[in-house]
Every structure is written in structure tokens, then in C-alpha cells.
Amino acid sequence: MPPEADLQRLAGLGCWRGDPDIAPLAGGMTNRNYKVRDRAGTHVVRLGEDLPHHGVMRWHELAVAQAAHAAGLSPAIRFAEPGLVVMDFIDGQPLSPERIRDPRLQPRLAELLRRCHREVPRHLRGPVLTFWPFQVVRSYLHHLRTHGGRGSGRLDEFDSLNERLESGFTGTGLVLGHNDLLAGNILDDGSRLWLIDWDYAGFGTPFFDLANLATNNGLPTEAELELLGRYLDTARIDAATLANHRCMRVLSLLREALWGMVSETHPAVEFDYANYTDEALTRLDVELAGGGGDSHGDTATRRKDGEG
């Protein structure tokens, strides 16, 4: 059952036309989400405070979501106040890892990422956060050393791994990344793809989004290379590019595992964070053992903050 305080808060908002019909939406891992119908249409309401331990700042999420709407990638924001956002409901289906692994979808996914990276920043104004994944990992490691948590016996190992990855990474270019490309953060309404949930957005390397999409959804090697080549608009991917992409594959999996560990120490909603951590660590260990690329883990059917 949804918290009574949420229902009272939502019912009392001044943005509705007529009496709102409010129903909870399942699936959020750090937000509480509701579907609301009024005379103006159907909306999604996201409730969530800042999450400093994850680098999530709601003022920034709102600014990027508004820019993403202006770029034609995300639903319109209709109302916002601290800790609450009302947006249009998209009548579409969240993708699944199986759909993302479909070779026929790779051109559309590559174009979606290009538009995210290149067009959303054109509509952003004011200060914008960065998402440098190596620093994200360092912050998580510091948090776990300070507050403790399950898996703390591997922190030195993860620290050394992060430093090795950063010293070998040679990627250049700065884009506005989404940085949370679980399958459910991409919606298909039958005619177009939508990208939602901008909690972790920030300027960083495009290689992270490409690797994050691949590792979160178990892309086979052939499909992963197809996505990379289409994004870069090249038929031949050079060795340096492949090395940078592989670096971000490991870093994406490491970040996901550490996200789970930190979330266990700060549970935002009722969710099995421990199981999420275990699955993420397994995928990381498979990658480190050289078995990545064709590992079709379906952990990504969940969304950290999605509407369903």
C-alpha cells in the first residue's frame, strides 16, 4: 500500500484539473512513483529527495529532464517542487534486455545515444554536474570505508582496479551522458524510443553509456560491436577504441556493484538491494575472469528510479 502521506501530498497539489485518480507504480529503486489521471490526461509523479551518497541532486535531474524534453527525448514536465516532479505519462512499453539484444534495434539505440549526447546539452542552461566514472567509484569506495557495508573486504581490490583502469583510459570527448542505461529506462511507444530517468546524468565520456547499455543488458559481442560502430559511424573500430570500450565495460559493472553496496547502507525504498548487489558482483567477476560480452544477465529488467 502507498504511504498515506504520499497520497495526501499528491491529492493536495494545485496542478490537477479536477479530482486526481492516484495509483502507485512499481519498479522504483530509489524513488516512489505514482500514476495520476485527471481531466488533462495521465501523468507520472516521482517522489524522491537528494541522494548525496549517489551524487543524485534533484534540481539537476529536473534541469536535464527539461532539456531532454526540449530535445525530443523525454516526456514534458508539468509541475515540480522540491522532492516531486509531475510529467506526462508515455503510453509505451519499457524495453527488456531481450529487446535490446535484438540486432534490428541497434541502429535506433545508437541514434538515441547520439541524440542524448549531442542534442540535450544544447537546451541546458546554468550549472551542470559531471559524471566521471572513476571518481564515482572513488566516492563509493570512500563511503563504504567510512560507513561500512557488505563486501568491504574487496574495497582495496576495487580501488586498485579503478586506478589501473583510469591510468589506461585514453578516451577523449565530453558529452551529456545518461549513465543509467538499464533496459527499463528506454520506452518504446510503437513509433519512437524515449529515454527517461535522468538522476545520474552529467557530462562525461560517451564510452560509459555505450558500455553501460551493453553490460546492463548482456549484449552479445557482435551486437555490442554493431552498436559501437553505428554510434561512431565507422565500419572499422580501431584497437584504441576497443581498449577504451573494454575499460568502460569493467568500470560500468564495478559501478553497478558498488551502487548496490552503498544502497544497502542507505535503503531509499523497500527493495532487495542485497540481491541486486550479489547479481552485480557476479557479473563483474565474470567480466574480470574474461567471460564477459555474451553474458545475458537480466538484472537490468529493473530500474533504479523507473515508473514501472
How far is it, in rounded angstroms, from Cα 219 to Cα 174? 24
At 300 the pLDDT is 38
**44-96 pLDDT per residue, tens:** 999 999 999 999 999 999 999 999 999 999 999 999 999 999 999 999 999 99
The neighbour count for residue 53, using CB atoms within 10 Å, is 17
Q: Please provide residue 231's backbone torsions phi and psi, each rounded to the nearest 5 degrees.
A: -60, -45
- Rounded mean pLDDT of the chain? 92
The whole-model pTM stands at 0.91
Identity at 235, one-letter amino acid code: A
The neighbour count for residue 155, using CB atoms within 10 Å, is 17
Task: Give the 3-state secondary structure of 179-237.
Answer: CCCCHHHEEECCCCEEECCCCCCEEECHHHHHHHHHHHCCCCHHHHHHHHHHHHCCCCC
CATH of domain 93-301: 3.90.1200.10
Residue 2 has pLDDT above 80, yes or no: no
Q: Is 232 left (phi over 0), alpha (psi -120 to 50) or beta?
A: alpha
CATH of domain 4-88: 3.30.200.20
Q: How confident is the model at residue 151 (pLDDT cuts 50, 70, 90)?
A: confident
Where along the chain do its domains lie? 4-88, 93-301
CA distances (Å), 252 to each of 102, 132, 134, 214, 221, in order? Answer: 21, 11, 10, 9, 16
Query: Would you give the end-to-end CA distance of the chain in angstroms?
Result: 16
Max Cα-Cα span within the chain: 60
Instruction: Please state, for a pLDDT cut of 70, what percent of the chain lies above it.
Output: 94
**202-251 pLDDT per residue, tens:** 999 999 999 999 999 999 999 999 999 999 999 899 999 999 999 999 99
Q: What is the DSSP letter of 296?
A: -
